[in-house]
Chain A
Amino acid sequence: MATRTKKTNGRANGAAHYAIDVGLLQERAGQVTSSAHGIARIADAVFEGSEVQLRSLDEAAGGLHQMATSLTQTATQAESAAVSTEELASSVNELSVSIEQVSTNTVNLASAINETAAAAQETAASIQSVTTTTHDMATAAQQVATSITQMARSTKSVSEDTDSFASAVTETAAAIEEMSRSIAGVADNANDLAVSAEETSSSINEMAASIEEVGAMTESLGAAVDQNSSSIEQLSRSIQSVAENGRRITDVVTSAATSATQMERTTSSVAGLAKQADELSRRVGRDAEEGGAAVQKSMQGIGRLRDSMVQSATVMREMGKRTSEISSIVDTINLIAERTNLLSLNASIEAARAGDAGRGFAVVAEEIRNLADRSAKATADIAGIIKALQEVAQDAVQATNDGLRVADDSASLAETGASGLKKILTGVGEITSVVGEVSRAADEQRQASQSVVTGVAATAEQARLVAAATTEQARAASQIVQATAQMRKVAQEVAKATAEQGNAARDIIKAAQGTTRTAALVRKASAEQATSAANITQAADSMRKGAASTSRALAEQASAADQIAKSAGALNTMIASVNKAMSEQSTAVTQISNTMSGMRRDAEMAARALSEQSRALKEMTGATQNSAAQIKRITQANREHSTVSGKMVEQLREVRRITDRNARDVSETKGSTAELLKHAADLVGLVGRGANGARGGSNGRG
């Protein structure tokens, strides 16, 4: 009994020492695991951010490239633009739905993360309680050690020579040998652990370097994104000004359409007026020809009139001459009449002188005088008539001369009129031809202005559509600006996460160093344990020698055994609580893993939603490409955009290169983290095995 007690004492001593090391190791392993999980989470987040960034960059680069292309191609077919705009609208709707889904998923993710946090807190609490329990266990183990020391003192008096004791000692020795082997295995494992910890440390250093690199790249990425963002804002402003110009163009084109319509009306009225003028000038030409013929006729008439006037003047002059002749004849007759009168008077005087004898003569003389008087009277009448006739003839000659002059004047006037009419005819001919040309030109003009009206209307429609498309473009550009802002935010978050990663890496390095130190401690403890085992073997020999005194101490031993049993019970209780805490811990870990899987599911959903988003954005991009394809021919200002876009594409390529490297580094980080996790798992497994070995040794003794 005393021998057994002593053996137990030596083994219990080693087990207590070992239990402390295991606690430390478990603690460090837990730290490493949690840090590795943290790194994995951060790396996932970074990877996700990088993917988002990549997609954003692809999208932005594609959008920019297509925008650059589209900016050089805009307008032409307004209907396609309208259709594209509708497609764009539906795509944007899809995008908004997808984004809503994403936001929902993100809410879920947030709640999952909250759960994870709660679980982690629980885990922390559990680990705390485990630590407390371990402390309690250590105290209990010390109590057990004290009891065992007391028991050892009483065992000295126990009788030495007992076969059963010897066989127990032999069993104990065998157990100690087993334990020694186990310790050697622990030492080997500790060596492996040290190697693994060094490997982990080096890989962590690598990872830290990679993380530093990622941090630097993220900073340059942030700068590039800032630059990009300002370029995109410039582009957006430019597009807005283009939209403004498009609206102005629409206004101008609308007023041009009004002007064209007015012009068309005016041209139509001009054409009508030209036709009227044509008819009028033709009528004037006909009238002028008729007038010319009339003038010709009147000229001929005037010529005939002149001839007859000349003739009549001649006749008149002849008549005057004849009248003068008549007048001289009449004078002669008158003279004869006067002489006859005179003769009759003288005859009468002579007859009167003759008295009665002259009476008959007197009567004859009287009759002769009467006849003479009558002929004188007649000649006086004739003379008066002839005088009147002469006056009339003179007047007639005068009038004829006047008439001749008038006829000559008329003839010259008629000739002037005829020549004027000829000129008029020529002018009217010219006018007619010119008016015909004007009429034709007005017709052509009218047709042209109609086509202008049609064209201007089409242009107005195009311009309106272009303005609408440009407005859509502006909206898309502002969305791009928003996306860029989001990208910037993501970059900042990535930077933050990278910083956290760096911190975590530093923590891990610290933990790894701690692990290495602990492994060294374990190795040292194992060596001490081996020495102790040797000591125990020696003690077993001396135990065998002092077996005689064992019986003496048996009574004390019995009481000490009771105490030991009590302490062992307490120990068992402690260990049970440790187990319970460990199971709680495992439950919490399960919960964590469940939550993580939920998180992963959400992340997958988010990824799916994002891929939908990406598809919708690709559609949008296609639509925008269509819009852009029609915008090309509109404005040369777009070339500026193209240049800016080219620059931006370059920058985006730079960003993309950086992001690719980033993603690669993150992948490396993930790989390192996986390795780390594996090492941590190995460590945990080793520690568990060590703990089991220790417990197995103890149980084997029992």
Chain B
Amino acid sequence: MSASHTVQGLETYILFTVAGTTYALPSRDVRHMEMLEGVTRVPNAPPFVDGVVFSRGQVVPVVNLRVRFGFERAPYDLRTRLIVVQSAGRVIGLVVDSAREFVNIPPTAIQPPHEALAGMSGRYVEGVASVGERLILTLDLSRILKFAENLSMDLSS
């Protein structure tokens, strides 16, 4: 699996936007993507958790990246996407403003994040890639999921 995602030496990424910024997730971390239609809210959930959805026979917790990244909440619309990711056997849904692109980014195009940036959001950002004229932040999914570990386990259990 891993090998196919790096065919011809290129890593494929899903690009998505949250609060105007474009982020990239490696496509190998993404199980699939859905349009977000109904979210079942759960009691005593942290603020960044919108609730749970039932996807492909599995209950998936839904994490609002806007809230998680410290932006204000926005209502869902036609372009709102639920990116269902899996990491270390855990499946989580990430709510983003939109996700419409599937691109190849060469590793040379990715630079480590700036030290100043690393201090604040360095926990999630793996690097900064420039695709065409755009600056794209590549995310470290494991770090995103790390703080949601318990939650994921709680939810999966």
Q: Do A and B bind each other?
A: yes
Q: Is the CB of B35 within 8 A of A353?
A: no
- Nearest Cβ on chain A to B22's Cβ, whole angstroms: 15
Assess whether B30 is interfacial by the CB under 8 Å rule. yes
- Nearest Cβ on chain B to A376's Cβ, whole angstroms: 8
Assess whether B5 is interfacial by the CB under 8 Å rule. yes
Q: Is the CB of B35 within 8 A of A342?
A: yes
Assess whether A341 is interfacial by the CB under 8 Å rule. yes
Known: A345-B14, A373-B100. A352 touches B78 (CB 8 A): no
B30 neighbours in A (Cβ, 8 Å): 349
A373 neighbours in B (Cβ, 8 Å): 100
Known: A349-B14, A352-B5, A353-B4. A342 touches B34 (CB 8 A): yes
Nearest residue (CB) in A for B80 is A338
Q: Is the CB of B81 within 8 A of A352?
A: no
Which one of B7, B28, B99 has the highest number of Cβ atoms from chain A below 10 Å of its Cβ? B7
Q: Kindly state the separation between the CA atoms of A338 and B76 in the bound complex, as whole angstroms.
A: 14
Give chain B interface residues in 108-143, CB to chain A under 8 Å: none
Assess whether B153 is interfacial by the CB under 8 Å rule. no
Q: Is the CB of A342 within 8 A of B81?
A: yes
Nearest residue (CB) in B for A338 is B78
Assess whether B27 is interfacial by the CB under 8 Å rule. yes
Q: Count A-B pairs with CB separation below 8 Å.
A: 55
Q: Is the CB of A354 within 8 A of B4?
A: yes
Q: Is the CB of A345 within 8 A of B4?
A: no
Known: A352-B5, A353-B1, A353-B4. A346 touches B27 (CB 8 A): no
Nearest residue (CB) in B for A358 is B4
Assess whether B73 is interfacial by the CB under 8 Å rule. no
Known: A345-B14, A349-B14. A335 touches B78 (CB 8 A): yes
* Residue in B4, B27, B78, B102 whose beta carbon sits within 8 Å of that of A355 in the complex: B4
Assess whether B33 is interfacial by the CB under 8 Å rule. yes
* Residue in A334, A342, A359 whose beta carbon sits within 8 Å of that of B33 in the complex: A342
Assess whether A306 is interfacial by the CB under 8 Å rule. no
Nearest residue (CB) in A for B100 is A341
Q: Kindly state the separation between the CA atoms of A353 and B100 in the bound complex, as whole angstroms.
A: 18
Assess whether B79 is interfacial by the CB under 8 Å rule. yes
Contact with B along A316-355 (1 / 0, CB 8 A): 0000000000000001001100110110111011001111
Q: Is the CB of B81 within 8 A of A355?
A: no
Assess whether A369 is interfacial by the CB under 8 Å rule. yes
Q: Kindly state the separation between the CA atoms of A344 and B32 in the bound complex, as whole angstroms.
A: 11
Q: Kindly state the separation between the CA atoms of A346 and B3 in the bound complex, as whole angstroms.
A: 19
Q: Kindly state the separation between the CA atoms of A355 and B3 in the bound complex, as whole angstroms.
A: 8
Q: Kindly state the separation between the CA atoms of A359 and B5 in the bound complex, as whole angstroms.
A: 11
Q: Kindly state the separation between the CA atoms of A345 and B31 in the bound complex, as whole angstroms.
A: 11
Q: Kindly state the separation between the CA atoms of A576 and B98 in the bound complex, as whole angstroms.
A: 205
- Nearest Cβ on chain B to A695's Cβ, whole angstroms: 202
Nearest residue (CB) in B for A372 is B100
Q: Kindly state the separation between the CA atoms of A348 and B79 in the bound complex, as whole angstroms.
A: 18
Known: A353-B1, A355-B4. A346 touches B33 (CB 8 A): yes
Assess whether B64 is interfacial by the CB under 8 Å rule. no
Q: Kindly state the separation between the CA atoms of A352 and B28 in the bound complex, as whole angstroms.
A: 8
Q: Kindly state the separation between the CA atoms of A352 and B27 in the bound complex, as whole angstroms.
A: 8
Q: Is the CB of A349 within 8 A of B32?
A: yes
A335 neighbours in B (Cβ, 8 Å): 78
Give chain A interface residues in 363-388, CB to chain B under 8 Å: 365-366, 369, 373
- Nearest Cβ on chain A to B21's Cβ, whole angstroms: 19
Nearest residue (CB) in B for A357 is B4
Q: Is the CB of B102 within 8 A of A349?
A: yes
Q: Kindly state the separation between the CA atoms of A345 and B14 in the bound complex, as whole angstroms.
A: 8
Q: Is the CB of A345 within 8 A of B100?
A: yes
B33 neighbours in A (Cβ, 8 Å): 342, 345-346, 349
Nearest residue (CB) in A for B3 is A355
Give chain B interface residues in 1-33, CB to chain A under 8 Å: 1, 3-5, 7, 12, 14, 27-28, 30-33
Q: Kindly state the separation between the CA atoms of A353 and B3 in the bound complex, as whole angstroms.
A: 9
Q: Kindly state the separation between the CA atoms of A355 and B32 in the bound complex, as whole angstroms.
A: 16
Nearest residue (CB) in B for A355 is B4
A352 neighbours in B (Cβ, 8 Å): 4-5, 7, 12, 27-28, 102
Nearest residue (CB) in B for A337 is B78
- Nearest Cβ on chain A to B31's Cβ, whole angstroms: 8
Nearest residue (CB) in B for A356 is B7
Give chain B interface residues in 75-117, CB to chain A under 8 Å: 78-79, 81, 99-102
- Nearest Cβ on chain B to A69's Cβ, whole angstroms: 133
- Nearest Cβ on chain B to A457's Cβ, whole angstroms: 110
- Nearest Cβ on chain B to A353's Cβ, whole angstroms: 6
* Residue in B3, B27, B34 whose beta carbon sits within 8 Å of that of A348 in the complex: B27
Q: Is the CB of B78 within 8 A of A334?
A: yes
Q: Kindly state the separation between the CA atoms of A349 and B12 in the bound complex, as whole angstroms.
A: 9
A349 neighbours in B (Cβ, 8 Å): 14, 27, 30-33, 102
A342 neighbours in B (Cβ, 8 Å): 33-35, 81
B27 neighbours in A (Cβ, 8 Å): 348-349, 352
A334 neighbours in B (Cβ, 8 Å): 78
B79 neighbours in A (Cβ, 8 Å): 338
Nearest residue (CB) in B for A335 is B78
Q: Kindly state the separation between the CA atoms of A359 and B101 in the bound complex, as whole angstroms.
A: 17
Contact with B along A55-66 (1 / 0, CB 8 A): 000000000000
A341 neighbours in B (Cβ, 8 Å): 100
Q: Kindly state the separation between the CA atoms of A398 and B4 in the bound complex, as whole angstroms.
A: 61
Q: Is the CB of B99 within 8 A of A355?
A: no
Contact with B along A569-592 (1 / 0, CB 8 A): 000000000000000000000000
Q: Kindly state the separation between the CA atoms of A355 and B28 in the bound complex, as whole angstroms.
A: 11
B14 neighbours in A (Cβ, 8 Å): 345, 349
- Nearest Cβ on chain A to B36's Cβ, whole angstroms: 11
Nearest residue (CB) in B for A373 is B100
* Residue in A338, A339, A353, A369 whose beta carbon sits within 8 Å of that of B102 in the complex: A369
A344 neighbours in B (Cβ, 8 Å): 102
* Residue in A338, A346, A359, A369 whose beta carbon sits within 8 Å of that of B32 in the complex: A346
Q: Is the CB of A345 within 8 A of B7?
A: no
- Nearest Cβ on chain A to B103's Cβ, whole angstroms: 10
Q: Kindly state the separation between the CA atoms of A354 and B3 in the bound complex, as whole angstroms.
A: 10
Contact with B along A289-332 (1 / 0, CB 8 A): 00000000000000000000000000000000000000000010
Q: Kindly state the separation between the CA atoms of A345 and B30 in the bound complex, as whole angstroms.
A: 11
- Nearest Cβ on chain B to A369's Cβ, whole angstroms: 7
- Can you list 29 contacts pairing A with B, beta carbon distance less than 8 Å? A331-B78, A335-B78, A338-B35, A338-B79, A342-B34, A344-B102, A345-B14, A345-B33, A346-B33, A348-B12, A348-B27, A348-B102, A349-B27, A349-B30, A349-B31, A352-B4, A352-B5, A352-B27, A352-B28, A353-B1, A353-B5, A354-B4, A355-B7, A356-B4, A358-B4, A359-B7, A365-B102, A366-B102, A369-B100
| B contact set with A: CB distance below 8 Å | 1, 3-5, 7, 12, 14, 27-28, 30-35, 78-79, 81, 99-102
| A contact set with B: CB distance below 8 Å | 331, 334-335, 338-339, 341-342, 344-346, 348-349, 352-356, 358-359, 365-366, 369, 373
Q: 11 new A-B pairs (CB below 8 Å) besides A345-B100, A349-B102, A353-B1? A: A334-B78, A338-B78, A342-B33, A344-B102, A346-B33, A352-B27, A355-B3, A355-B7, A356-B7, A358-B4, A365-B102
Of all A-B residue pairs in the complex, the 4 with the closest CB atoms, nearest first, are: A355-B4, A348-B102, A346-B32, A352-B12
